[in-house]
Amino acid sequence: MKYTIGTRGSKLALYQANFVKDKLENLGYKCEIKIIKTSGDKNQTSFSEIPLKKLFVKEIEEELLEGKIDLAVHSMKDMPYEEVEGLCMGAFPDREDPRDAIIVERPLKTIGTGSERRRIVAEQIYGEAQILPIRGNVDTRIEKMKNGDYDGIILASAGLKRLGLQDKITKYFGVEEMVPSPCQGIIGVQCRKNDVKVLDILRKIDKEEIRKIVEIERLYGELYNGGCKNPVGAYAEKIKNIYKIYTMRVSKDKLIKNIFEIDEFDIEKIKLEFMTKG
């Protein structure tokens, strides 16, 4: 049997889909990739106008529910917080560098970013520069900068590294300086809840520690309604037996940052901490 993997058609999305395909084929499962164009790919408006994350996954999830594909590969930071009935995340096989990064072409008078979260933090870091909206895939954004539309652009370092473009990075932002979007750099593999065969296969490439990190970061994002229009950042890492969690959100135009240290993976305890101090 050959398993069909659904994905968006950008270079980065295809890299991620092929990453999963290679892992499954190394285990002996034949796979093929199907490119699915989403509403988000067709919509090239600015970040102040774009609707929520659903734009980047809706059509893919519909094909999964209809049985046209067997599994779907997503960037977890693009996944809506509400679950779709009949679907589940079967595996989290990888996390690349979660940090944001800036590529600088010339003295910074204008900086492009497609993220409201990055815009707010960049305005504090680069007070004299104008922060402007930008859309398009990684290559398109770099080309716009080279053409003079922007002097620099801020992107996720995960995408740049996966595409072999890390040499273009001028600076990485520390996770405490520019808190990443929840699950930035994490690949998620989605399947049907009742597809026992695919679920069993995906368990072989699932990483339990990444799964816990996903739960923590998405919990914060969901609590504070993180999305394209409501900027939220959350990054968790396990150091020895401690979960260190960096968070940011905006409340009444005020940027709120926190660092939590939790001594066990107890999601209710973590939720209480977020609600009390978040």
- Rounded CA separation 25/20 (Å): 9
CA Rg value for the chain: 19
Per DSSP (E only), the strands in 2-160 are 2-7, 30-35, 71-75, 87-95, 100-104, 110-113, 130-133, 152-156
Pairing of strands 87-95, 71-75: unpaired
Helix, strand, coil proportions of the chain in percent (round to 5)?
35, 30, 35
Catalytic-role residue among 22, 41, 70, 78: 78
Question: Which residue, 36, 93, 43, 81, is CA-closest to 62?
Answer: 36
What Cα–Cα distance (Å) separates residue 260 from each residue in 39, 73, 143? 36, 30, 39
The answer to whether the CB of 250 falls within 8 A of the CB of 225 is no
- Residue 109's nearest CA partner among 82, 135, 91, 127 is 127
Strands 130-133, 232-239: pairing is unpaired
In sequence order, which ranges of 68-176 are alpha helices (DSSP H)? Answer: 116-125, 138-146, 157-162
List Cβ neighbours of 22 (8 Å cut-off, separation of 6 or more): none
78 given a catalytic annotation: yes
The residues assigned a catalytic role are: 78
